[in-house]
Amino acid sequence: MTQTAPESSAVTTSGDGRFASLDPRTGEVVAHHPIHTPKQVADAVAQARRASNWWQELGFAGRKERLDAWRRLLVKRLDEAAGLISAETGKPAADAKLEMVIVIDHLHWAARNAERVLRKRRVPAGLLMSNQSATLEYLPVGVVGVIGPWNYPAFTPMGSIAYALAAGNTVVFKPSELTPGVGTWLADTLAEIVPEHPVLSVVTGFGETGAALCRSGVDKLAFTGSTATGKRVMAACAESLTPVLVECGGKDALIVDYDADVQLAADAAVWGAMSNAGQTCIGVERVYVHEDVADEFTAAVKKLAAKLRPGGDPGADLGPITMPAQVDIIRGHVQDAIDKGAKALVGGVESVRPPFVEPVVLADVPEDSLAITEETFGPTITVNRVRDVDEAIRLANAGRYGLGGTIFSKSRGEQLARRLRAGMVSVNGVVAFAAIPSLPFGGVGESGFGRIHGEDGLREFARPQAVARRKFKPLLNPMSFSRGAGTVRQLLAIVKLRYGRK
């Protein structure tokens, strides 16, 4: 459920119910895709539901076998996938290949660990229910709808798709209208491994297609996108009480303490801010640096950022801004900051040259500037010096987002990380948590709720079922109208004896 019509020249529609995805570097057509109607979305969900029982009955071992085969196919055809990602997003080939490497690692982890995390297991019944056998297992929810973004068109949605499939669900995926080919390619490759039933199907189109998926009767919906669109997704799903997982925007901060490795921190800040042309929800958008090392850090950031070059050629460091409408937002944030007194250390408003944006480093940026308060989603970074780390933490936590964060400190990194209001934190590194399959991924505040990846991500797409089974007749049975007059009194005496002591 992204925009309801093409926002820009990144997509074009035709009169035959199709639209074209375009290469943002050149404007050339990559491929044409259908605009699926609400009825076609409902049909896809109905097919997925028919496939659901078969997929569940394969069991953990059967599903692992299929998902492992899919993983091997993705490895074999990695260059093909990366080429398509580059064509639809414009990102450099190396970055597209890195995206697929992480996809493959997550798929392997999900398939390997699903049984361990979700299988039936015994749990203690407790003193009062000692005559009962208690078990807990996590069953598939059924059909999962996934609405994915364009900035990481394989990695981000696969954080839901792979884990949902491993948990025993079938999936209907609506990719961004900017990157429909990547979603279609993923479904087609899995169909080569699982030809019997459509366990992963794709519907393409614009906002109406996404809204139809929200209202289609899926058993859960996972959404990644803007906070504003996320609220509309939640409203649509609320009509049928469809549970949702929402991962929205971020305004992540990087904090540099007085004892940090300054050169390492500068390198991380530039990569975190500029990679993928800044189009990363967990990218570094704000830096708060201790005044004792601020000059050294700022000089290092300035030197590194000034070397980066955007372009559409293989040797470029950064690709284009994939969604042209974002260009005006980036320009507006830079202009607003400068108008309010910020200093442009690298680039400036003139760096915005659609479809490319050159690196922009802003210093001494007022905290009420759009570049501080709103998600910029471009190759820009703000660097503000602070008196101490307490001020840095306060400023980092002041915004309404809470997705990720970064701490650079030799002596107290983990201690400071706990104080950040964020779902994920990297210490002396940047965005490392996203590439670790066992760590849950998600935010707080207006960055959303729910988790993908890791054990939490597997359980996110399963429903816990608790079962209590009577093993033998209890000595005392308070849950009966035939209980004796002294039953509850005896239970109270046991409770006081067992639990009333220190």
Report the alpha-carbon distance of residue 33 to residue 187 in Å, rounded: 14
CATH code: domain of residue 67: 3.40.605.10
**Is the four-CA dihedral 186, 192, 193, 199 of positive or negative sign?**
positive
In this structure, are residues 423 and 94 in contact, taking their beta carbons and an 8 Å threshold? no
Q: What is the pLDDT of residue 10?
A: 62
Query: Do residues 151 and 197 share a domain?
Result: yes
Query: Do residues 338 and 376 share a domain?
Result: yes
Query: Do residues 133 and 228 share a domain?
Result: yes
Query: Do residues 418 and 319 share a domain?
Result: yes
Rounded alpha-carbon distances, angstroms, from residue 43 to 14, 50, 213, 240, 325: 23, 11, 11, 18, 33
User: Would you list the DSSP string of 305-354?
Assistant: HHT--B-SSTT-SB---SSTHHHHHHHHHHHHHHHTT-EEEE--GGGEET
Secondary structure element (H or E) that encloses residue 230, with its range: helix 227-238
Q: What is the pLDDT of residue 1?
A: 36
In this structure, are residues 87 and 185 in contact, taking their beta carbons and an 8 Å threshold? no
3-state helix, strand, coil in the chain (%, to 5): 40, 20, 35
Query: Do residues 93 and 218 share a domain?
Result: yes
User: Does the residue 204 lie in any domain?
Assistant: yes
Query: Do residues 181 and 293 share a domain?
Result: no
For 497, the token pair is 């004896």
Q: What is the pLDDT of residue 6?
A: 37
Query: Do residues 116 and 221 share a domain?
Result: yes
Question: Residue 61, exposed/middle/buried by CB under 10 A (0-12, 13-18, 19+)?
Answer: exposed
Query: Do residues 123 and 220 share a domain?
Result: yes
Question: Residue 152, exposed/middle/buried by CB under 10 A (0-12, 13-18, 19+)?
Answer: buried
- Helices of type H across 33-154: 38-57, 59-76, 78-89, 93-118
**Long-range Cβ contacts of 346-355 (<8 Å, 24+ apart):** 346/302, 346/305, 346/306, 347/305, 352/327, 354/320, 354/321, 354/324, 354/327, 355/24, 355/25, 355/90, 355/320, 355/321, 355/324, 355/327
Instruction: Verify whether residue 291 is a known catalytic residue.
Output: no
User: Which residue type does 83 have?
Assistant: G
Instruction: Verify whether residue 247 is a known catalytic residue.
Output: yes
> Which of 431, 390, 426, 388 minimizes the C-alpha distance to 407?
426
User: Does the residue 467 lie in any domain?
Assistant: no
Side-chain-side CA neighbours of residue 352 (13 Å): 18
Query: Do residues 275 and 159 share a domain?
Result: no
Secondary structure element (H or E) that encloses residue 407, with its range: strand 404-408
Query: Of 177, 248, 281, 374, which residue is the catalytic one?
Result: 281
Q: What is the pLDDT of residue 445?
A: 96
Per-residue pLDDT 10s for the chain (502 aa) are 333 333 444 666 766 899 999 999 999 999 999 999 999 999 999 999 999 999 999 999 999 999 999 999 999 999 999 999 999 999 999 999 999 999 999 999 999 999 999 999 999 999 889 999 999 999 999 999 999 999 999 999 999 999 999 999 999 999 999 999 999 999 999 999 999 999 999 999 999 999 999 999 999 999 999 999 999 999 999 999 999 999 999 999 999 999 999 999 999 999 999 999 999 999 999 999 999 999 999 999 999 999 999 999 988 999 999 999 999 999 999 999 999 999 999 999 999 999 999 999 999 999 999 999 999 999 999 999 999 999 999 999 999 999 999 999 999 999 999 999 999 999 999 999 999 999 999 999 999 999 999 999 999 999 999 999 999 999 899 999 999 999 999 999 999 998 998 7
User: Does the residue 7 lie in any domain?
Assistant: no
Residue 219 DSSP code: S
> Which of 69, 44, 269, 49 minimizes the C-alpha distance to 141?
49
User: Do you know the residue count of the chain?
Assistant: 502
User: Does the residue 388 lie in any domain?
Assistant: yes
Secondary structure element (H or E) that encloses residue 469, with its range: strand 462-470
Q: What is the pLDDT of residue 321?
A: 98
User: Does the residue 8 lie in any domain?
Assistant: no
User: Does the residue 442 lie in any domain?
Assistant: no
Report the alpha-carbon distance of residue 34 to residue 183 in Å, rounded: 13
Secondary structure element (H or E) that encloses residue 435, with its range: none
CATH code: domain of residue 276: 3.40.309.10
Query: Do residues 341 and 364 share a domain?
Result: yes
Q: What is the pLDDT of residue 314?
A: 85
DSSP strand pairing (462-470 vs 132-140): antiparallel
Query: Of 177, 247, 375, 460, which residue is the catalytic one?
Result: 247
Number of structural domains the chain divides into: 3
User: Does the residue 191 lie in any domain?
Assistant: yes
Query: Do residues 295 and 432 share a domain?
Result: yes
Query: Do residues 146 and 259 share a domain?
Result: no
Domain limits for position 486: 472-500
User: Does the residue 444 lie in any domain?
Assistant: no
Rounded alpha-carbon distances, angstroms, from residue 461 to 219, 240, 250, 452: 9, 18, 24, 9
